[in-house]
Amino acid sequence: MAAVDDVIARGYGDPDRLGVCGWSYGGELTNHVITRTDRFKGACTGASTFIYISNYGHDQYQRWWEFELGLPWENREMWEEMEPFNRVENITTPTLILCGEKDWNVPVINSEQLYMALKRLGRITELVVYPGEFHGIGTPSYIKDKYTRYLDWFAKYVKGKGTEAEE
């Protein structure tokens, strides 16, 4: 958050109109940020891990998980501390969640878990699953849809305007 504070202090950002967005590891970072602060008015997260232990042994990053966090059965406290799921009740930021149906690296269950937790908490959220897509969205119409959704989400929740379709 120090970088955000610096941008605001330099006059490049408006503290009342902040949004956060990321895909893959960027989505994972987005999930962390929105569990730790309510400064952002809107968030978009895509193809992101939400419950780390559910991916252990499944994704291509197992060695990195072990390097950063240790083995889950030997360092359970670290794994639990790092999981955004364990702070989900702190999320108040309206959150758009996107993913590919056939993402084998970060399976759709991650997005579904985040979505269901936010819905159960009564938070503003939307889940978009792109049929037939993998970790990166490659179909041109879906790429356009993804970026249109980003712009509409931030227009509505960060800028406080209606969506393009409403205006």
Domain count, the chain: 1
Q: Which two tokens stand for residue 160?
A: 């406080």
Place of tokens 């895909």: 23
The verdict on residue 111 lying in a domain is yes
Q: What is the pLDDT of residues 94-128, one digit of tens each?
A: 999 999 999 999 999 999 999 999 999 999 999 99
> Contact at 8 Å (CB) between 68 and 56?
no
Spatial separation of the C-alpha atoms in residues 47 and 31, rounded to whole Å: 11
Q: Which two tokens stand for residue 88?
A: 């989900």
The verdict on residue 67 lying in a domain is no
- CATH number (domain holding residue 94): 3.40.50.1820
Among this protein's residues, is 24 annotated catalytic?
A: yes
Catalytic residue (choose from 24, 54, 111, 141): 24
Spatial separation of the C-alpha atoms in residues 111 and 115, rounded to whole Å: 6
Place of tokens 């929740």: 157
Q: What is the pLDDT of residues 68-101, one digit of tens each?
A: 999 999 999 999 999 999 999 999 999 999 999 9
> Contact at 8 Å (CB) between 103 and 137?
no
Q: Model-level pTM?
A: 0.92
The verdict on residue 38 lying in a domain is yes
The verdict on residue 124 lying in a domain is yes
Please tell me whether residue 125 adopts helix, strand or coil conformation: strand
The verdict on residue 91 lying in a domain is yes
pLDDT of residue 25: 93
Is pLDDT of 28 > 60?
yes
The verdict on residue 118 lying in a domain is yes
Spatial separation of the C-alpha atoms in residues 71 and 112, rounded to whole Å: 25
pLDDT of residue 140: 99
Domain that residue 41 falls in:
6-55+84-157
The verdict on residue 75 lying in a domain is no
The verdict on residue 162 lying in a domain is no
